[in-house]
Amino acid sequence: MSSITVALDAGHGGSDSGAVYKNRKEKDYVLRLTRAVGQILENNGINVFYVRTDDEYETPFKKATDANNAGADYFVSIHRNSSERPNQYSGVETLVYSDDGIRAEMARNINEELEAAGFKNLGVTERPNLVVLKRTRMPAVLVEVGFINSDEDNRIFDQNFNQIAQGIADGIMKTLYSQDVNFNEVPPYDEIEENSYNNEESMPQIPAEQPNRPGMIMPIRQTMEVMPPYDNNMTETAEENAPEKFYRVQVGAYRDKSNAERMLNSLLMEGFPAFMIYEDGYYKVQSGAFRYLYNAVKMERRLRRFRYNTYIVYS
C-alpha cells in the first residue's frame, strides 16, 4: 500500500479559527485529530501528506493546490460542525462534491465508523461549491466530526478521541482495500510513470516524456493484478518475444475524441485506472490491464455497479 498517498487537511488555521464555542476553537481540535488519524495511516503503511501541520492559515484553493501538487490519491478534510444555536443539532456528516463513486463510498465508510464511536450519523451531503472538494484532482471528502456547539458531541469527542481517530482512519483504509488493488505491484509497462487520477475539473496529467507505444494516449495508472484463487495450472500463452497481452475492460469507443475524453474524465473522477487508445479509427476508453481474466471480470463488475456499459477485450 506504500504507493498510495492520502492528503489530510485540518480545517481552518491561523487567523481563521473556524467555529468557536466556549473555550473551543475548531482549528485546534481538528489539527489534533488530523495528526492522530495521519499517525494511524502511516503505521499501516500509507503515505500521508499533511496540508497543514501547525497553526497557519491557507486559503481553501491553496490547500487543494498543495494536495494536487503532492500527487495525493485521496483528500480528506477534517472539520467540526456548528449551528445557529447551541445544542440545536448533533451528529457527524460528510460532504462530497457529488454523491457517487469512490468518494461517496469513503464518506459512508467514515460515517459508519464514527457512528460506532458514539455519534449520530447524519449521512452524506453534496456540496459542489466547496473549493477543497471542487478543485482537488482526486476523490475528496470533508468530514464534520460532530457539532462543536453541542455539549453531547463534545463529550463524545473528548471521551472517545482515540476511537474517533481510529474510526476515520479505518473508514479511509476500508475504502482503499475495497478497491481490490495491489498497489505495490510493478506495472506491466514499467516505463510509464505513475500518475494520480483526477476528478471534477482536470484532465489527466501526462508525463513529459512518454516511450513510443503505438496507440497509447493516456497512461495506465497501475496494473491491478491479483493472482486468482482458482486454476493454479494457469499459464501464459504469449509467444516468446511477442508483446504481452492483457485483459482490459472497455467502457466506450468513439470516433469523436472529445466524447472519449468526457468518458475518460468520468472514470478518473470515480477513481478508476482509466486510459484511452486510438485503434481502428476509434478512440477507445478502457480500464485496467490484467494478465488473468478473473481480475478483469472483477473490474467489470465494479464498473457496472457504477452503471457503465462494458465488455472485456484481450490485446
Whichever domain contains 273, its CATH number is 3.30.70.1070
Q: Are residues 147 and 254 in the same domain?
A: no
Same domain, 73 and 205: no
CA distance 141 to 11: 12
Same domain, 20 and 155: yes
Same domain, 110 and 151: yes
Of the residues 118, 142, 177, which one is the last residue of a structural domain?
A: 177
Question: Does residue 24 sit in the same domain as residue 151?
Answer: yes
3-state helix, strand and coil shares in percent for the chain, rounded to the nearest 5:
30, 25, 45
Q: Which pLDDT value is given to residue 191?
A: 28
- Give 313's contacts (C-beta < 8 A, 6+ positions apart): 247, 248, 249, 250, 286
The pLDDT value recorded for residue 2 is: 54
Block means of pLDDT (10 residues each) for the chain, length 315 residues? 84 95 96 97 94 94 94 96 95 95 95 97 94 93 98 98 96 83 36 31 33 36 40 40 76 88 83 87 89 84 82 84
Task: Tell me, yes or no, whether 227 and 167 share the same domain.
Answer: no
Q: Which of 241, 49, 215, 80 is nearest to 161 (CA)?
A: 80
**pLDDT score of 242:** 53
DSSP code at position 196: -
How far is it, in rounded angstroms, from Cα 21 to Cα 223? 49
- 129 plus 260 within the same structural domain: no
Query: Cβ contacts of residue 128 below 8 Å, gap of 6+?
Result: 97, 98, 134
**Any domain includes 183:** no
- Cβ atoms 101, 272 nearer than 8 A: no
Q: Is residue 152 domain-shared with residue 208, that is, in the same domain?
A: no
151 and 222 co-located in one domain: no
User: What does the pLDDT look like over 174-195, one tens digit per residue?
Assistant: 998 876 444 333 333 222 223 3
pLDDT for residue 141: 97
Q: Which residue has the cell 501464459?
A: 236
pLDDT tens readout for residues 103-130:
999 999 999 999 999 999 999 999 998 9
Beta strands in the chain (DSSP E): 5-10, 20-21, 24-25, 47-50, 74-81, 92-96, 121-126, 140-147, 247-254, 274-279, 282-290, 311-314
Do residue 12 and residue 141 come from a single domain? Answer: yes
Instruction: Give domain status of residue 149, yes or no.
Output: yes
What was the pLDDT predicted at 263? 87
Full-model pTM: 0.60
Give domain status of residue 294, yes or no. Answer: yes
CATH of the domain at 155: 3.40.630.40
Extract the C-alpha cell encoding 100.
Answer: 457517487
- Total number of residues shown for the chain: 315
Is residue 189, in this structure, part of any structural domain at all?
no
Q: What is d(CA 228, CA 62) in angstroms, rounded to the nearest whole number? A: 43
Can you give the pLDDT at residue 243? Answer: 61
DSSP-assigned states of every residue in 116-130: HTT--EEEEEE-TT-
Domain that holds residue 59: 5-177
The confidence score (pLDDT) of residue 179 equals 67
Give me the chain's average pLDDT, please.
81
Instruction: Report the number of distinct structural domains present in the chain.
Output: 2
Contact between 301 and 242 (Cβ < 8 Å): no
Please tell me whether residues 157 and 240 are part of one structural domain.
no
Using the structure block, give the residue that is written with the C-alpha cell 476515520: 168
* Domain assignment present for 272: yes
Grouping H, G, I as helix, E, B as strand and the rest as coil, residue 110 is: helix
Are 61 and 206 found together in one domain? no
For 289, which DSSP code? E
DSSP state of 108: H
Domain assignment present for residue 188? The answer is no
Number of H helices, E strands in the chain: 8, 12
